Amino acid sequence: MSIEERPAGAGPSGASANGAPPLIEVRNLVKHFPITRGIVFQKQIGAVKAVDDISFEVRRGETLGIVGETGCGKSTTAKLLVRLLDPTSGQIVFDGQDVGAANKDELKALHREMQMVFQDPYSSLNPRKTVGSIISEPFAIHGLLKESGERRKRVQELMDRVGLNPEHFNRYPHEFSGGQRQRIGVARAIALEPKLLVADEPVSALDVSIQAQVLNLLRGLQREMGLTLIFIAHDLSVVRHMCDRVAVMYLGKVVEVAPSDELYSFPRHPYTGALLSAVPVARPHGGRRRDRQLLTGDVPSPANPPRACRFHTRCPKAQEVCSQEEPLLELKSGHDLAACHFPLTEAEVRLRLPTGLSGTAASTNAHGTGQIADQSSSSSST
Amino acid sequence: MSVGISDFSLEEAEAETGAVELVSGEIAARSPWELFLRRFREDKFAIAGLAFLLVVILAAIFAPLVCSLVGAPGPYRADQNALDIFGQPTGPSSAHLFGVDQIGRDVFSRVIYGARVSLIVALVSCVLTSAIGVVCGLLAGYYRGWVDTVISRTVDAFLAIPYLLLAIGLASACSFGNGCVGGLIKPGIPVVVAVITFTSWTYPARIIRGQVLSLREKEFVDASRSLGASDFRIVFKELLPNLTAPIVVFATTFLPQAILYESALSFLGVGVQPPTASWGQMIADASNNINTQWWYMLFPGLALLFTVLAFNFVGDAMTDALNPRSKRA
């Protein structure tokens, strides 16, 4: 499958090398959804801590992946970034401008710069509008290309660019397949030539064969338009294919941020280790036996998360201190930031991921090798 | 849907419209409006209904002309000669197509003239009711919070007002002399429309609010917001087009209701005053002697029945035709 191919020239080092300020800086971002009781006189009795004090930055032109289980706050983060939700506290600085503090007009201007591709291609397109009017909506909202002939020409160019037949502009969304609908969503998102594209699980509703096409479309557009991409997913192999760096979230916290090659070969946070060891291996008998690290129990409720390290209730390495003191997101090795008192050691990673560690020490050049190649080499070496 | 149309209907349609737009020399996909017309035309009942409504509307507008063409004496002339020797009304005859009523007025003329009142009341109150209800429902459903609380509680309060009681109250208070509130409220078409609207806008408001509550959670609303769309744009350009089905259904079921409301109100004395004819009033009058003078009930009744049916057919076809997912094309 072409998912395993990584087009060259999008390595993590390339993005981090230039000294330009990051496109987006997220500082101590918090989003709590209040839980209320009562009908007329509502009383807040608690809060779902969907996103709880996260900080990260996205460099210009890079692809940042955000992964995590359902309910860990990935989509909330995405919606906060484009301010579909108002943050409870914290800052999102986009290109020097605070997104959370922007007023109505500033926000409208900001929305020209950042766009979102949605998860569900079935509900993200208005069923009563033609594809043409859906894709030209950005122009209508921002009062661009006032002449309808001009607008239609641009719409057809966009449709052609994302791989749709430009003659279909008068069709309705339901006449298209899931993959085509997602292309319509992408065309709408790139219509204003934004700097940032936030893709919230853009392929999780699609067939596997279609996923690769849409992913390659996104990569191609990124290269052509110099887009910065925030890519949210729960499919780890998709993220590896797409992303320069990956942030792992658990219960509203970012637990690890690392360049994707480092993360996939040498995860430091036990949660990341568990996620990666749950990925099915293509050749279960060909590779070395591995001890899958299975997490027990459920994700705790975000309304009442565990104290200190949120993962300590399910962590195989948890000790006393993990429930007392919250670990900070710190540099553990290479470029790998992890929030853990007892990060995984090489031996532990080897047990969990027989395919990993092949190029840990010098992981900067590791992005040429795919997962399957890694596995065969490690199995032959043992 | 341009797929699956037989060549025959395609050619036929193009010959008929003669205005299929061409883009760069190729056949352009059909615009939503063309699709709507095409689907609507498929429905023979709707076409018949539309034709009938057109006839009724034209007859109402040109009532004097129609009457003189047929040779009917007009709605107000009480012709003693049309009564039989016992002073009873006579049935349909060449002089009076639909017979005459108790005091010798020509029923045909009264049915034609009565269409004016019935149609005006039905259309105006239907438009007002739908407009007020839809806007209130949209706002309540979209903004939720205190806006929703205020609108929904107001709706509840209005639902508690029985419209007949209100009408009886108005009738007893305002049907004498100069009316009440300095002549502002006195029996007539405006009061009928006001009473109907006042007591009915709550129904579309509730329907629309419920629909909007579920629609606003769809991702296309988020998508529109993330493009920078204003609330106004989202409500009226994104949500409203998705509400055509419930609105048209409400409107077409409400139109006949409004005609009947008008008759009830006229019967109570709040509506149009005699000698002005309205279908409702004629039916109400005729109910006293239905046993002997069937024609006085039958003809306004048939007019009402067919008009209501026609509205229903047209509304039904419109809902289908406006739905892009409809299979009929």
Tell me the pLDDT tens digit for each residue of B76-110: 776 777 677 676 777 677 777 777 777 778 888 88
Q: Minimal Cα–Cα distance from A213 to chain B, Å?
A: 22
Give Cα A126 distance to the centre of its chain.
Answer: 25
Q: How far apart are CA A325 and CA A332, in angstroms?
A: 18
Taking the C-alpha atoms of residue A217 and residue A190, their distance in angstroms, rounded to an integer, is: 12
Which amino acid would we find at residue B206? R
Block residue for tokens 């209904």: B49
- B38 or A188: whose pLDDT is higher? A188
CA distances from A132 to A173, A174, A333, B222, B322 (A): 10, 13, 50, 19, 17
pLDDT at B208 over 90: yes
The two tokens of residue B329 are 């094309």
- Alpha carbons within 13 A on the beta-carbon side of A22: 17
Kindly determine whether residue B226 and residue A120, on different chains, have CB atoms separated by under 8 Å. no
Domain end among A250, A284, A316 = A250
Are A324 and A246 contained in the same domain? no
Q: What angle do CA B87, B89, B95 make, to 5 degrees?
A: 120
Over its C-alpha atoms, chain A yields an Rg (Å, rounded) of 22
B230 SS3 class: coil
- Any chain B CB within 8 A of the CB of A194? no
- Whole-number pLDDT of residue A183: 93
User: What CATH superfamily classification does B60-322 receive?
Assistant: MetI-like (1.10.3720.10)
* Domain's final residue, options A204, A226, A250: A250
Chain A: give the shortest CA distance to residue B108, in Å.
45
Angstrom distance (rounded) from CA B91 to CA B265: 28
Chain A: closest CA distance from residue B324 (Å):
7
Confidence of residue B169 (pLDDT cuts 50, 70, 90): confident
* Cis upstream peptide for B256 (omega within 30°): no
Q: What is the structure's pLDDT at B328? A: 46
For A182-186, B39-43, B74-78, B192-196, which range has the lowest pLDDT when averaged over its residues?
B74-78
Per the CB < 8 A criterion, the answer to whether B220 and A128 are in contact is no
Cα–Cα distance measured from residue B258 to residue B123, given in angstroms and rounded to the nearest whole number: 8
Question: End of a domain among A250, A284, A301?
Answer: A250
pLDDT over threshold 70, residue B265: yes
Q: How many domains does chain A have?
A: 2
Say which residues have a Cβ less than 8 Å from residue B298's Cβ, sequence separation at least 6.
none
Of B26, B220, B325, the CB nearest to A123: B220
Q: What are phi and psi of B272, to 5 degrees?
A: -65, 145
Contact A119 B219 (CB under 8 A): yes
Res B278: pLDDT: 84
**What pLDDT is recorded for position B44?**
87
CA-to-CA distance for A306 and A30, rounded, in angstroms?
17
A79 CB near a chain B CB, below 8 Å?
Answer: yes
Q: Which residues contact A138 (CB under 8 A, 6 or more apart)?
A: A144, A188, A191, A192, B227, B228
Hunting for tokens 């801590």 — which residue is that?
A49
The structure tokens 């004395």 sit at B269
Specify whether A245 is located in the same domain as A276.
no
Q: Which residues contact B68 (CB under 8 A, 6 or more apart)?
A: none
Under a CB-based contact definition with an 8 Å cutoff, are residues A204 and A233 in contact? yes
Q: Which residues pair with A229 in a beta bridge?
A: A63, A197
* Domain ranges, residue A95: 2-41+49-250
**Whether residue A299 sits in one domain with residue A221:** no
**By CB neighbour count within 10 A (0-12 exposed, 13-18 middle, 19+ buried), where does A8 fall?**
exposed
Residue A123 near chain B (CB below 8 Å): yes
Among B222, B103, B203, smallest CA distance to B158 is for B203
Helix (H) or strand (E) holding B111: helix B107-143
Residues A81 and A217 in one domain: yes
Chain A residues whose beta carbon lies within 8 Å of the beta carbon of residue B31: 170
Q: Which helix (H) or strand (E) holds B137?
A: helix B107-143
DSSP three-state, residue A92: strand
CATH code, A81: 3.40.50.300
HSE toward the beta carbon, residue A262, CA cutoff 13 A: 26
Tokens of A351: 């047990």
Range name among A345-359, A360-374, B155-169, B308-322 with the lowest pLDDT average? A360-374
pLDDT at B178: 64
**Is 90 exceeded by the pLDDT of residue B209?**
yes
Nearest CA to A117 among A201, A179, A55?
A201
A123–B29 C-beta distance less than 8 A: no
Helix spans in chain A (H): 12-17, 74-81, 104-113, 131-135, 137-142, 148-161, 178-190, 208-225, 236-242, 260-265, 270-277, 346-352, 371-381
Q: Are residues A335 and A315 in the same domain?
A: yes
Q: Model ipTM?
A: 0.78
Q: What is the model's pLDDT at position B183?
A: 64
Q: Are A363 and A369 in contact (CB under 8 A)?
A: no
* A213 and A74 inside one domain: yes
Instruction: Read off the amino acid at residue B257.
Output: Q
Query: What is residue A56's three-state secondary structure?
Result: strand
Q: Does B156 touch chain A (CB under 8 A)?
A: no
What was the pLDDT predicted at A362?
34
Query: What are the residue boundaries of the structural domains of chain B, listed by start?
Result: 60-322
Q: What is the pLDDT of residues B45-73, one digit of tens each?
A: 889 999 999 999 998 888 888 877 777 77
Residue B269 and residue B51: Cα distance in Å, rounded?
33
Instruction: Name the residue facing A84 among B3, B23, B225 (closest C-beta).
Output: B225
Tokens for B96, please give them.
């009076």
pLDDT average, residue stretch B157-169: 84
Chain A residues close to B230, C-beta within 8 Å: 141
Cα→Cα distances B91→A210, B79, B97, B101, Å? 75, 14, 8, 9
Phi–psi pair at B212, nearest 5 degrees: -65, -35
Mean pLDDT by 10 residues, chain A (382 residues): 39 46 89 81 82 89 90 89 89 87 87 90 89 91 84 91 89 88 93 91 86 90 91 86 90 90 88 84 60 75 85 85 85 84 82 57 35 35 34
Looking at residue A282, its pLDDT comes to: 66
Same domain assignment for residues A324 and A352:
yes
Q: What is the pLDDT of residue B224?
A: 92
Q: What pLDDT score was predicted for residue A296?
A: 76
Residues A173 and A283 in one domain: no
Whether A168 contacts A159, CB under 8 Å: yes
Q: Which of A77, A79, A102, A95 is nearest to A22 (CA)?
A: A95
Which chain A residues are within 8 Å of B1, Cβ to Cβ? 172, 175
Mutation choice for B interface testing from A137, A151, A177 by most B CBs within 10 A: A137
Residue B298: pLDDT band (50, 70, 90) is confident
When pLDDT is cut at 50, 70 and 90, the band that residue B151 belongs to is: very high
Buried b (16+ CB within 10 A) or exposed e, A16-55: eeeeeebbbbbeebbbbbeeeeeeeeeeeeebbbbbbebe
Q: Exposure of B131 by Cβ count < 10 A (0-12 exposed, 13-18 middle, 19+ buried)?
A: middle
d(CA A33, CA B196): 43
- The two tokens of residue B182 are 């300095």
A150 touches chain B (CB under 8 A): no
Residues B153/B202, Cβ–Cβ less than 8 Å: no
How far A80 CA sits from the closest chain B CA (Å)? 11
Verify that A232 and A94 share a domain, yes or no: yes
Percent helix, strand, coil in chain A, to 5, is 35, 20, 40
What proportion of chain B, given as a percentage, has pLDDT over 70? 82
